[in-house]
Structure 1
Amino acid sequence: MAPDPKQRRAARHAQPEDADATAAKPRTPITTERITDAALQVVATEGYDALTIRRVANVLGTGPSSLYAHIVTKTDIDDLIIGRLCSQIVLPEPDPARWQEQLRDVYAQMRDLYLKYPGVSKAALAMVPTNLEILRVGEGILAILLAGGIGPQTAAWAMDGMTLYVAGYALEVSLVQQRQKDQDATWVLSQDEMVSRLTSLPEATFPQTRRYATELTSGHGHQRFDFTLSLLIENLTQGG
């Protein structure tokens, strides 16, 4: 007997026997770890200014609304990514005999982590830290300063100043590196070009600039960073 119309209709809409095998796999749940991974991926490839909640959602293959179960604003993403970077900083056991060297090392680690992600140190500026890893690094730096005999108030403000300097330094280096990739960025000059420009200034108006053009434009790698950080650290005892 031929199947009745209801049976034929059911047969047309029946799933194949291996439907479970061919069905779409469930999506990986959105977590703060995955949000942080995606955010750092955006910054590493496109720069910090490209970082938005929508862009992070696109990397995760979802919509922005999926992220709001874990974050409220982009500031939360800033907190997550700086926290992730801080988690990679190795803190020493404070040593009164080596406290200056220890400070230089911790801040050099922070600098290098910032420079891996173009412009990311902007996220650390004007931040009220809530991430435990950010607070862990602050605790470690404060402990080093106190072990060096620096008074609590001086130590607190010194930590703020040095951390701000590192963020600003890393941001400037990132901006210069980004602009150097632009073929039209003719203002990014070599040292020789800068010296040539400075020494061609009117001597009556810029006598010192002309005379010390080489000194004003000198410095390779992180020489200027090391100089400024050492200047801050070595003068702390005067205010401690």
Structure 2
Amino acid sequence: MTEIPAPPWGPTRKRAPRRVLSQDGIIAAALRIVDTEGIDAMSMRRVAQELGTGAASLYAHVAGRDELIALVLDRVRAEIHCPVPDPERWQEQVKDVMRQARAALAAHGDLARLSIETGVPTGENAMRTAEGVLAILAAGRLPVQVCAYGVDALALYVTAAAAEEAALAFRTGVTTAGKDDFLAQVRDYYKSLPSGQFPVITGMVDELMRDVGDERFEFGLDLLVSGLARHAAPAAGE
């Protein structure tokens, strides 16, 4: 049946606005899904549903899920800010940037566990952060190769710490009570081990299971930074 035109005196209907897609909008939608549903839920189809369009329309802006993950990670890295290098405070500056990086990843659920899988980060924000950290390390009079190894080791540590936090949150239902119950189970298991076979573990269960604020993360961060500091060249006049 042929559709007849509406009479000119009838009510005027507004034409539904056409949704204009952009890479920024796609990244924002993907990040919303990661935050609310987890990284495994973030598929091209799911992102398209979030945007009210078809999955095929996303490929004009993003090559696929792998690229989208890399773009989402780089968007999160925009939350990291590097200071102007201060040779007198370079160690604390590096630690502060690493704290920012951990917080940025931890704020977005289990996104951190895919950071290593994306390979060498090449996004604009990743490059900006790497440049900033390398500049801080160089200001601390570290040899070039030490700077190169250092920025890599620091990134791996922060990513692993954030991924572990996300895995624990997933396992325990992201509640303090759930986390406490799980850690209590681990503690009881360690204590149940035969002390004759595992004397060291059973002798320091409380220390192994200590979980006080950021104490554990800060300990590891201090180990890395103080280790890097051992390679610093003497200052002029020393």
TM-score for both structures, normalised by structure 1 = 0.87
1:162 is aligned to 2:181: no
2:104 to 102, 113, 116: 113
Query: 2: CA distance between counterparts of 1:65 and 1:192?
Result: 48
Change (3 A) 1:129 1:187: closer
Aligned to 2:163: 171
Aligned to 1:217: 209
Q: Is the 8 A contact 1:122 1:167 kept in 2?
A: yes
State how many pairs are aligned: 229
1:208 to 176, 179, 200: 200
How much does 1:208 deviate? 0.8
Residue 20 of structure 2 aligns to a residue whose secondary structure is: coil
Any residues of structure 2 matched to 1:176-187 within 5 Å, and which?
A: 176-181=168-173
How much does 1:136 deviate? 0.5
Any residues of structure 2 matched to 1:75-86 within 5 Å, and which?
A: 75-86=66-77
Any residues of structure 2 matched to 1:142-157 within 5 Å, and which?
A: 142-157=134-149
- CA RMSD, 1 decimal: 2.5
1:97 is aligned to 2:88: yes
Unaligned runs of 5+ in 2: 233-238
Query: What whole-Å deviation, never above 9, does each CA across 1:53-110 have from its counterpart, x for those lacking one?
Result: 1111111111111110011121211221111111121210011111111111111111
Aligned to 2:44: 53
Query: 1: CA distance between counterparts of 2:27 and 2:109?
Result: 16
Structure with the greater alpha carbon radius of gyration: 1
Query: 2: CA distance between counterparts of 1:140 and 1:153?
Result: 16
Change (3 A) 1:96 1:172: same
Q: Which amino acid aligns with 1:29?
A: V
Aligned to 2:32: 41
- Identity among equivalent positions (%) equals 34
Aligned to 2:221: 229
Query: 1: CA distance between counterparts of 2:23 and 2:9?
Result: 35
Query: 1: CA distance between counterparts of 2:9 and 2:21?
Result: 28
Aligned to 2:114: 123
Change (3 A) 1:221 1:16: farther
Change (3 A) 1:79 1:13: same
Unaligned runs of 5+ in 1: 1-8
TM-score for both structures, normalised by structure 2 = 0.87
How much does 1:228 deviate? 0.4
Query: 2: CA distance between counterparts of 1:103 and 1:18?
Result: 70
Change (3 A) 1:214 1:95: same
